[in-house]
Amino acid sequence: MTVPPRDPEAALRPLLPAIAARAAARDQDGAYPAADVAALADAALLIAPLPRAEGGAGLGTEVAGAAALARILRRIGRASLPLGRLYEGHVNALRLVLRDGTATQRAAAARDARQGLLFAVWNTEAPGDPPLALYPAGAGTWRLEGRKVLCSGAGSVPRALVTGRPGGDADAPARLLLLDLADQAHRADLALWTAQGMRASATGSMEFSGLVVEADALVGPPGAYLRQPDFSAGAWRFAAVHLGGAEALAEELRAHLRRTGRGADPHQAARLGQVGIALETARLWVEAAAQRAEAGDEGAAPYVNLARLAVERACLDVIERVQRSVGLAAFLRPAPMERIARDLATYLRQPAPDRALAEAAAHLLDAEGGIGERWG
Ligand SMILES: Cc1cc2nc3c(=O)[nH]c(=O)nc-3n(C[C@H](O)[C@H](O)[C@H](O)COP(=O)(O)OP(=O)(O)OC[C@H]3O[C@@H](n4cnc5c(N)ncnc54)[C@H](O)[C@@H]3O)c2cc1C
């Protein structure tokens, strides 16, 4: 049985050099960072999201854990963006089960996490695909028809929360299903994941047609997954991982400038300074967004919408400045900055960025009081 770490940040620290060292070799189509996930499990980081009362550290489930979770997500992202993506999904999944699950479902999820099982959340459907459908199959069971795409950890992750629509009715509120996928790896197809980066995230489609699940696979009421402000506000967690990737790129830039003796050149110094501004701007946004989101603040969703876009902008600026400063060498394999920039540019593509900005703008337009007083 895994013993919960008193200090998850201290438990993570010694793992990071090996995770970063393995990331280069793992940059292969269809790869999955099994050794890294096992290391997180051994250090009790898979149970860290459980509330302290249930043996965890309350990361992502208690307001007090928000700042620590932000640092953990950043540091994992710094070592490996694909692992950061998988860990962020795990935290999200446990959070949803703990929020909406029955006592039995919560206990089962806690037991599985203690046994080192990684969880995922798979919501995305391909444009033009019908929604994943649920049909009653007798004796309280449900039969699934359809597939999900862009599933991180497809074929490797043993537990996943997926969204499905009763009767395949696209207008019906989505239900969340917690699936045991231990014997379902044959449903994964990683062939379509030809993205330039995040190759080691085992992102692929999962064909669920014909899978029959028990009634107790349903978690929470209809529409629970999209409940606001949690749905939008949870975006702070992927922003934290993105920031970690940008920090790793900045580290590579600094090493390059030291190695080449070019750091004192005023143009190079100016770009490194601007990278420092971008990183700290993003860090301040992530920390503030984490606090508001985990406290369930009124206004958390628009605040996180702004934060995710500010962090995206900062990461894009860092990529551009690193590539400008280093030049062609930043594009030559096996330079770590080549891989990290590919991973970061790919992972920065998250759902509906225009809508996130428009919703935040609408919030500011309608907010009572001075715009300068809105956030404190
Ligand atoms: C590495 C990686 C791992 C992932 N893992 C998972 C996972 O495990 N589970 C999961 O569910 N998903 C996963 N995803 C999918 C992810 O959550 C997003 O759905 C996906 O990345 C969105 O990409 P997109 O840029 O095509 O988004 P889109 O939302 O399609 O945005 C593309 C552009 O179109 C605009 N746009 C969006 N909607 C409209 C509209 N209606 N009209 C006009 N313009 C519009 C956007 O603002 C943006 O400019 C993963 C993605 C990546 C990159």
Output the residue whose Cα is nearest ligand 1's atom 53.
Answer: 347
pLDDT surpassing 60 at residue 2: no
Domain that holds residue 74: 8-118
pLDDT surpassing 90 at residue 60: no
Ligand 1, CB cutoff 6 Å, lining residues: 85, 89, 120-124, 150-152, 198, 201, 203, 346-347, 349-354
Alpha helices (runs of H) in the chain, residue ranges in sequence order: 8-12, 16-25, 34-42, 66-79, 81-100, 103-114, 230-233, 235-260, 266-295, 300-326, 336-347, 353-366
Q: Is residue 373 part of a domain?
A: no
pLDDT surpassing 90 at residue 298: no
Q: Are residues 318 and 351 in the same domain?
A: yes
- Ligand 1 atom showing the smallest separation from residue 356 Cα: 47
CA distance 46 to 2: 9
CA distance 355 to 162: 23
> What is 138-201 written as a DSSP string?
STT-EEEESEEEEETTTTT-SEEEEEEEETT-TTSPPEEEEEE-TT-GGGEE-TT---SS-GGG
The amino acid at 257: L
Q: Are residues 110 and 160 in the same domain?
A: no
pLDDT-based confidence at 5, cuts 50/70/90? low
Crossing angle between the packed helical segments 81-100 and 336-347, to the nearest 10 degrees: 30
- At 321-369, the pLDDT tens digits run 999 999 999 999 999 999 999 999 999 999 999 999 999 999 999 999 9
CA distance 258 to 63: 40
CA distance 354 to 37: 33
Q: Is residue 375 part of a domain?
A: no
Would you say 122 and 206 are in contact if contact means Cβ atoms under 8 Å apart? yes
Output the residue whose Cα is nearest ligand 1's atom 38.
Answer: 352
CA distance 267 to 270: 5
Q: Among 103, 118, 133, which residue terminates a domain?
A: 118
Please state the length of the chain. Answer: 376
Q: Are residues 92 and 158 in the same domain?
A: no
Q: What is the pTM of this model?
A: 0.97
User: If you measure from the C-alpha of residue 363 to the centroid of ligand 1, how many angstroms do you get, rounded to a whole number?
Assistant: 22
Question: What's 64's DSSP letter?
Answer: G
Count of CB atoms situated within 10 Å of the CB of 71: 18
Q: Are residues 82 and 28 in the same domain?
A: yes
Q: Are residues 267 and 361 in the same domain?
A: yes
Share of the chain above pLDDT 70, in %: 99
Q: Give me the chain's average pLDDT, please.
A: 95
Output the residue whose Cα is nearest ligand 1's atom 36.
Answer: 352
Q: Are residues 335 and 293 in the same domain?
A: yes
CA 253 to chain centre: 25
Structure tokens at 25: 């070799």
User: If you measure from the C-alpha of residue 150 to the centroid of ligand 1, how many angstroms do you get, rounded to a whole number?
Assistant: 9
pLDDT surpassing 90 at residue 110: yes
Q: Among 225, 248, 268, which residue terminates a domain?
A: 225
- Ligand 1 atom showing the smallest separation from residue 82 Cα: 1
Q: Are residues 266 and 320 in the same domain?
A: yes
Output the residue whose Cα is nearest ligand 1's atom 16.
Answer: 350
Q: How far is CA 26 from CA 16, 19, 196, 201, 243, in A?
A: 15, 10, 14, 9, 21
What CATH number does the domain containing 314 carry?
Answer: 1.20.140.10
Q: Is residue 28 part of a domain?
A: yes
- Ligand 1 atom showing the smallest separation from residue 197 Cα: 1
What CATH number does the domain containing 13 carry?
Answer: 1.10.540.10
Q: Are residues 235 and 221 in the same domain?
A: no
Tell me how many domains the chain contains.
Answer: 3
- At 76-107, the pLDDT tens digits run 999 999 999 999 999 999 999 999 999 999 99
Q: How far is CA 331 from CA 213, 338, 342, in A?
A: 47, 5, 9
User: If you measure from the C-alpha of residue 351 to the centroid of ligand 1, how many angstroms do you get, rounded to a whole number?
Assistant: 3
Output the residue whose Cα is nearest ligand 1's atom 51.
Answer: 150
Q: Are residues 274 and 357 in the same domain?
A: yes
- At 176-211, the pLDDT tens digits run 999 999 999 999 999 999 999 999 999 999 999 999
Q: Are residues 157 and 66 in the same domain?
A: no
Q: How far is CA 207 from CA 122, 129, 185, 190, in A?
A: 12, 12, 10, 11
Q: What is the pLDDT of residue 3?
A: 58
What CATH number does the domain containing 148 carry?
Answer: 2.40.110.10
- Ligand 1 atom showing the smallest separation from residue 148 Cα: 11
Share of the chain above pLDDT 90, in %: 93
Ligand 1 pocket test, candidate residues 32, 150, 226, most atoms within 8 A of CB = 150
CA distance 70 to 193: 28
Output the residue whose Cα is nearest ligand 1's atom 39.
Answer: 352
CA distance 22 to 156: 18
Q: Is residue 3 part of a domain?
A: no
Q: Is residue 133 part of a domain?
A: yes
Structure tokens at 145: 């028809």
Count of CB atoms situated within 10 Å of the CB of 370: 7
Q: Are residues 187 and 254 in the same domain?
A: no
Q: Among 70, 101, 118, which residue terminates a domain?
A: 118
Q: Is residue 166 part of a domain?
A: yes
Q: Are residues 215 and 238 in the same domain?
A: no
- Ligand 1 atom showing the smallest separation from residue 123 Cα: 11
Q: Is residue 171 part of a domain?
A: yes
Output the residue whose Cα is nearest ligand 1's atom 45.
Answer: 352
User: If you measure from the C-alpha of residue 42 to the centroid of ligand 1, how many angstroms do you get, rounded to a whole number?
Assistant: 33
User: If you measure from the C-alpha of residue 26 to the centroid of ligand 1, how many angstroms do you get, rounded to a whole number?
Assistant: 24
The amino acid at 242: H
Query: CB-based burial of residue 213 (10 Å sphere; 0-12 exposed, 13-18 middle, 19+ buried)?
Result: buried
Q: Is residue 376 part of a domain?
A: no
